[in-house]
Amino acid sequence: MGNRVAIVGIGQTYHKSNRPDVSQPEMVNEAVRAALADAQLEAKDIEASFLSNMETFEGIYLPDHGMADEIGAYMRSGLKVCTGGTSGASVVAEAFHYVAAGLFDVVMVTGFEKQDCGDTTAAITAACTPVWGKGVATGAIGEFAKQALTYMENSGSREEHAAMVRLKADRGACLNPYAHLKLGLKSIEEILASGYLVWPLRLLDFCPQSCGACALIYASESAAKKMAQKPVWIADVETVHQEPFRAGSFGDPTGLETYTQEVACERVYKRNGITDPIKDICMAELYEPSNWEELNLYERFHFCEKGEGWKLVEKGITEIEGAFPVNPSGGVIATNPIGATPTIRVAEAALQVRGDAGPHQVTRDVHTAMATALGGPNWTVLTLLKRSL
């Protein structure tokens, strides 16, 4: 599968609902400079620049045309990727393909979203597939409300289990200096007292809209040998697509749909000799727009048997000090700058492999980690990282 590719630089901004202090390029510049500093490289060392953003969400057509020069992409090769919610992981896979193919030795991947520019739910709803969605599209929240109800009905789990996931996420977010929502939640009761957003999803059950950016620097194996930073190897990437609007497979109520998550992880596990995912992989950063979806994803990625995802959180297995930590960063439910959200999953997983996650470094030694992404079309993108290949 081509040349080996390592992540040798990681940088992100802090995340917040509003960043009126900076323009979109200035915000992205912060992440670019952080990644360059981490890699101990200069902008001139980067051969190609790959970007990810959900441009309709900010109401700016081609944001790169007002940004490339200011984020170190002036006269670079590269492109921008937009595949919905998965954009920030599709770009991780896309840039990987270029370096693995031997076209470049050092590239930068940058995901960004300045959500104070626009109205994300309005954009998702108004720009929904017009013929079959007009007037009945609900944005992401409605989709995940349906997912929550389907999960609850099929698994026999209770709201308390989703609340345990929310508590775990907040615990991680409070330890993560870059996380957006740090609520200091103390109890399950506190979460169950938050109002309904779209039934049965409560306010605390869903991700925020964040402003932020995240940048990664890749090096080919030969270039990585000369780099200052410890390499984190990209062992594998996978992308699986479908046409979901009519399938409705965010928590498929028909029980007949194939989940892209299962197709994607089965391919990755097979290629990488993973037979017992929560033993062979040491931790995961999942793209979970809601706490209920995290429970669903445990099952779809075969971390447990069907209908038993809630037992993982009940037993504390996915806590920071658990046997298989999930989202020690606080995850998407704490921090969600959409075009950067999946890039952050890869960045956080890579920091865990490096042992550089700081206060939210997991207890278990992480030699292998998986980052996932999920998008509006319910596409799945996976990135498998390893300390050595």
Partner 1 sequence: MQIQDRVEQVDDLDRYVYHGRIDIPNSYSAGTVGSHFLTELRDKKIFLGMKCEKCNVVYVPPRSTCKYCFAKMDDSWVEVADKGTLLTYTVNFAPTAAQPAESPIIYGIVQLDGATTGFVHMLGEVDLEDLRIGMRLQAVFKPERDASILAVKYFKPLK
**Largest Cα–Cα distance in the chain?**
56
Q: Which is nearer to partner 1, 30 or 285 (CB)?
A: 30
User: How far is residue 213's CA from residue 15's CA, in Å, rounded to a whole number?
Assistant: 8
The residue from 12, 24, 327, 341 that contacts partner 1 (CB under 8 A) is 24
Residue 19 binds partner 1, judged by CB under 8 A = yes
Are 67 and 24 within 8 A, CB to CB? Answer: yes
> How far, in Å, are 170, 231, 269 from residue 387 at the CA level?
28, 7, 17
Residues that bind partner 1 (rule: CB under 8 A) add up to a total of 33
To the nearest whole angstrom, how small is the minimum distance from the Cβ of residue 42 to partner 1? 7
Question: Of the listed pieces 38-46, 79-87, 299-307, 341-349, which binds partner 1 according to CB under 8 A?
Answer: 38-46
Question: Judged by CB under 8 A, does residue 72 bind partner 1?
Answer: yes
Q: Scanning the structure block, which residue is given the tokens 């500093």? A: 37
Coil/strand/helix, residue 312: helix
Considering the complex, what minimum distance in angstroms separates the CB of residue 23 from partner 1?
3
In which residue are the tokens 């409070």 written?
A: 174
Give the residue with the Cβ less far from partner 1, 123 or 237: 123
- 21 is a contact residue toward partner 1 (CB under 8 A): yes
Does the CA dihedral 202-156-345-354 come out positive or negative?
Answer: positive
Q: Which of residues 42-61 bind partner 1 (CB under 8 A)?
A: 42-44, 58-60
> Which CB atom, from 88 or from 118, has the smaller least distance to partner 1?
118
Angle, vertex CA 371, rays to CA 222 and CA 36, nearest 5: 45
* Cα three-residue angle 288-305-389, rounded to 5 degrees: 70
- Token reading at 380: 């799945």
Q: At what angle do helices 159-175 and 291-300 cross, to 10 degrees?
A: 100
Q: Of 82, 126, 192, 263, which lies in the binding site for partner 1, with binding defined by CB under 8 A?
A: 126
Q: How far is the CB of 117 from partner 1 (least distance, A)?
A: 6
| Closer by beta carbon to partner 1, 28 or else 370 | 28
Toward partner 1, which CB reaches closer, 20 or 184?
20
**37, 79, 101, 122: which one contacts partner 1 (CB under 8 A)?**
122
Contact segment (CB under 8 A) with partner 1 among 20-28, 193-201, 212-220, 343-351 equals 20-28
What element of type H or E holds 28?
Answer: helix 24-39
Which range binds partner 1 by CB under 8 A, 121-129, 148-156, 215-223, 241-249? 121-129
- Residue 68, classed as helix, strand or coil, is helix
Residue from 339, 338, 341 nearest 330 by CA:
341
Q: Is beta strand 380-386 parallel, antiparallel or unpaired with respect to 368-374?
A: antiparallel
Residue nearer to partner 1 on the CB measure, 117 or 149: 117
Q: Which is nearer to partner 1, 26 or 47 (CB)?
A: 26
For 205, residues 6+ apart whose C-beta sits below 8 A from its C-beta are 148, 162, 166, 191, 194, 197, 290, 291, 292, 333
Contact pick of 114, 161, 360, 387 for partner 1 (by CB under 8 A): 114
**Among residues 22, 174, 197, 247, the one that binds partner 1 under rule CB under 8 A:** 22
Footprint of partner 1 on this chain (CB under 8 A)?
A: 19-26, 29, 33, 42-44, 58-60, 69-72, 74, 114, 116-119, 122-123, 126-127, 130-131, 134
